[in-house]
Amino acid sequence: MNKSKVGTTLGGLSILSVIVSIIFFYTVRGPNSDIYFGITIFSVLSIIGIILAVMSLWMSKGRISKLLIGLVGLIANLAVLAFAFLLLLAMGIGEA
């Protein structure tokens, strides 16, 4: 299999983890939701997406269009991880 095609697929899967996180956020919300479960799901999906994005960047060296997919996936997953951290921080402040 071609390394460039594998890199593109991994980048797409990285972006897919961000989309799944957004869908999870909008389906499991409200006053009765378990916020710590949501933080765990966001963190796990984000870490998996970051690993996939880094592998995508490593696999598609030299192709700027292929690098862009991995870079978008990496930045989006870092944003989801920052969101999960801020949510965890707000829950810690709220319980103090």
**For residue 30, what are the domain limits?**
3-95
Compute CA distances 66 → 28, 44, 63, 70, 92, whole Å.
Answer: 33, 25, 5, 7, 40
- Average pLDDT, integer, range 55-65: 82
pTM: 0.90
In this predicted model, which residue has the larger pLDDT, 93 or 62? 93
Mean pLDDT calculated for residue range 2-31: 89
Q: Among 8-22, 25-39, 56-70, whose mean pLDDT is lowest?
A: 56-70
Number of domains in the chain: 1
Please give the C-alpha separations between residue 14 and each of 41, 59, 76, 80, 92, in angstroms, as whole numbers. Answer: 15, 14, 9, 12, 29
